Chains A and B, each alone.
Chain A
Amino acid sequence: MDAKEINHIARLARLKFDESAVDSMAKDLNDILKWMDILQSADTSSVTGIEETAPLRQREDKVTVGSLSEKLMKNAYEPYEHFFTVPKVVE
């Protein structure tokens, strides 16, 4: 991975690094990925599909705990009435 690729992945992850951090991140990630190459020698031809020990349970889509909006807004950054606020996205 080079600096360009690090910046692309950082952008996808909504992170940003200054120049020196990009270099050390590139080194770390290259070392880690190289070490992961061992997986390519694993014979997975006998494996079909994806491991699932138990099927995921689904529950009925219904309100179980009632209105939580008061509680949920307590940790919000500068809420406006019952709304979360973010920087302006539409001109």
Chain B
Amino acid sequence: MADLTSLSIAELSKGFNNKEFSSTEVTKAYIENMEQGRKYNAFITETAEYALKQALESDKRISKGERLSDLDGVPLGIKDLFCTENIRTTAASKILENFIPPYESTVTSKLLRAGSVFIGKTNLDEFAMGGANLTSYFGQAVNPVKRQDGTEVVTGGSSGGSAAAVAADMCAGATGTDTGGSIRQPAAFCGIVGIKPTYGRCSRYGIIAYASSLDQAGPMTKTVEDAAIMLEKMAGFDELDSTSADISVPDFKATLKNGVKGLKIGMPKEFLNNDLNSEIASAWQEGKEILEKAGAEVKEVSLPNMKYALATYYIIAPAEASSNLARYDGVRFGLRVDGSSLDEMYENTRSAGFGAEVQRRIMIGTYVLSAGYYDAYYLKALNVRKLIRQDYINAFKEVDAVLTPVAPTTAFTIEESKTFDPVTNYLQDAFTVPVNLAKLPAISVPVKKASNGLPIGLQLIGRDFDEETLFKGAYVLEQNNSWSRK
């Protein structure tokens, strides 16, 4: 029998249905990989015992012919930003080091109801603030994919642990969240697939908030088909999130293989002359050719306001974060560091509990919302955000989806990242943040190996709630490219 952990979710599902293997066997194989892969630091909390219990339940259902869904019996990693009832949830922060949620997030509830097995809570940047998984209180995750010369590189972030866990076959798929690229960029760096759905598609209830108007949950998987299977189970209307969209969830898997014939795909000219790294540019060109060969029409589009996206994002996201993170005050849950007065206790707790990048973003956010600066920064950014969304709406009059790179480079090393100042770090997100600002869906799919041996990912961006087109396009890119995971 082939190695069980190399199978996709679709293959596992078929195997379960045909009784070729049990969920317990598969779960045990993944637990073994998880334990042997601790050098990647992909998990903050391993939940092997819980997983085996769930697998046993799943096997009972399978033997009775009562399998709940394609995910029943499938071991998943859960980003440690999703609250899981009675299982420690840290957001990779010291301030939540011992936090045990008394409730389950909506997305993880849905995955549990679909019968999936939770193998562990994955590492991330602290409160999802970072693009390399270097800000985690529990240490950085390590990318299982190395440069050709053996050099270790970062996983990307913030969902770096999820990406590493999937890439190293430590789980069949994982949840991620994406506020400015946190699913798509680590997926690209680790050579897997990730989709950030339209804002409102997945409930944010029980996901520890970073920037509420930008945060979205999504799946990170080995294949495009697996992402379609997983997203369908994660998505759907939820009364407990007032921004959840009351829109039916399509059967993404059913239309996935319908091809791209007749689809119009846009390439934004503003990114074409953006001092783009030549290998990233050539991968982008290859993506274009694959789609054309499959019958899509590719043309240039213009998104003139993209140059403002990063500054807009780095005002809005910290502003929302400074408000969301005000709840960590040492009173009701989380770390407390005593002080002689209430205010001193707040300050001592927050200064000891938050890491440097989180404190930096709280400071930026507090500043742009403070008296005298609100109009110049925050209100201006909200208005520019509207221009950015309008750019895409205009482009979607001519095309059905937009194709861009995911990141300006392949994964970098920790040493290289030490030479980045905060602004250089933020520039990494140039291709991903505009999508969150516009609330649109976007999928990241690896298409090529760079000369250094690392994967290069491309991104397809779609209209509101049109993830179906993205899955079709990504499937064509996946089936016809030169990238191979193994």
Q: Chain A interface (Cβ within 8 Å of chain B)? A: 1, 6, 9-10, 12-17, 25, 28-29, 31-33, 35-36, 38-40, 42, 44, 46-47, 50-51, 53-54, 56-59, 68, 71-72, 74-77, 84, 86-87, 89
Q: How far is the CA of A89 from the CA of B243 in the complex (A)?
A: 37
A44 touches B360 (CB 8 A): no
For the complex, what is the distance from the CA of A44 to the CA of B387, rounded to whole Å? Answer: 7
B345, A86: Cβ atoms under 8 Å?
yes
| Residues of A close to B387: CB separation below 8 A | 42, 44, 46-47
User: Are B350 and A68 closer than 8 Å at their CB atoms?
Assistant: no
Q: Which residue of A lies closest to B343 (CB)?
A: A14
- CA–CA, A89 to B339, complex, Å? 12
Question: What are 9 A-B interface contacts by the 8 Å CB criterion?
Answer: A13-B363, A16-B348, A28-B360, A31-B422, A36-B311, A38-B308, A47-B387, A53-B199, A76-B333
B46 at the interface (CB under 8 A from A): no
Interface presence of B370 (CB below 8 A): yes
Chain-A contact segment, one of B13-21, B163-171, B378-386: B378-386
Identify B380's interface contact among A13, A17, A28, A44, CB under 8 A: A44
Beyond A14-B343, A75-B102, whether A32 also contacts B332 by CB under 8 A is no
B340 cross-chain contacts in A, Cβ below 8 A: 87
Given A9-B366, A15-B350, A32-B422 in contact, is the A87-B360 Cβ separation under 8 Å? no
Please report the C-alpha to C-alpha distance between residue A9 and residue B319 in the assembled complex, in whole angstroms.
13
Assess the A87–B341 pair: CB atoms within 8 A. Answer: yes
Whether B350 contacts A51 by the Cβ 8 Å rule is no
Which residue of chain B is the closest to A45 with respect to CB atoms?
A: B383
When chains A and B are docked, how far (Å) is the Cα of A38 from the Cα of B305?
A: 11
B interface residues with partner A (beta carbon < 8 Å): 99-100, 102-103, 199-200, 239, 242-243, 245-246, 305, 307-308, 311-312, 314-315, 322, 326, 329-334, 336, 338-348, 350-351, 354, 359-360, 362-364, 366-367, 370, 376-377, 380-387, 389, 421-423, 426, 439, 464
Q: Which residue of B lies closest to A10 (CB)?
A: B363
Contact A87-B242, Cβ < 8 Å, known A13-B366, A75-B100: no
A51→B338 contact, CB < 8 A: no
Residue in B342, B363, B389, B421 whose CB lies within 8 Å of A51? B389
Using a Cβ cutoff of 8 Å, how many contacts connect chains A and B?
A: 139
Q: Which of A10, A13, A38, A51 has the most CB of B within 10 A?
A: A13
The verdict on A14 contacting B329 (CB below 8 Å), with A25-B360, A89-B342 known, is yes
Cα distance A44–B367 in the bound complex, in angstroms: 22
A77 to B97 Cα, complex, angstroms: 13
Closest partner residue, chain A, to B379 (CB atom): A50
Q: Chain B: interface secondary structure?
A: helix
Instruction: Name the CB-closest residue of A to B325.
Output: A13
B370 and A9: CB pair below 8 A?
yes
Given the complex of chains A and B, what is the CA–CA distance between A14 and B349 in angstroms? 9
Q: Is the CB of A15 within 8 A of B311?
A: no
Q: For the A-B complex with A42-B380, A53-B389, A86-B345 known, give 6 more contacts whose Cβ atoms are closer than 8 Å.
A: A6-B363, A15-B347, A16-B347, A42-B384, A44-B387, A76-B332
User: Closest CB-CB distance, B349 to chain A, in whole Å?
Assistant: 8
Are the CB atoms of A36 and B315 closer together than 8 Å?
yes
**Which of chain A's residues has its CB closest to B377's CB?**
A36
Pairs A-B, 4 closest by C-beta atoms: A75-B333, A71-B102, A44-B383, A51-B386
Q: Name the contact of B384 in the complex, choosing from A28, A39, A71, A75 (C-beta under 8 A).
A: A39
A87 adjacent to B307 (CB under 8 Å): no
Q: Contact check, B367 vs A9: say whether CB atoms are below 8 A apart.
A: yes
Q: Which residue of A lies closest to B380 (CB)?
A: A39
B381: chain A residues within 8 A (beta carbon): 39
Q: Which A residue's beta carbon lies closest to that of B339?
A: A87
B336 lies within 8 A of A50 (CB): no
Task: Considering the complex, give the chain A residue whose CB is closest to the CB of B308.
Answer: A42
Chain B contacts for A50, CB-based, 8 A: 382-383, 386
Contact indicator A36/B341 (Cβ below 8 Å): no
Contacts of B464 in A (CB 8 A): 53
A58 vs B311: C-alpha distance when bound (angstroms): 32
Residue among A33, A56, A72 with the highest chain B CB neighbour number at 10 A: A33
Residues of B within 8 A of A35 (CB): 311, 423, 426
In the complex, which of the residues B100, B239, B345 contacts A87, with contact meaning CB atoms closer than 8 Å?
B345
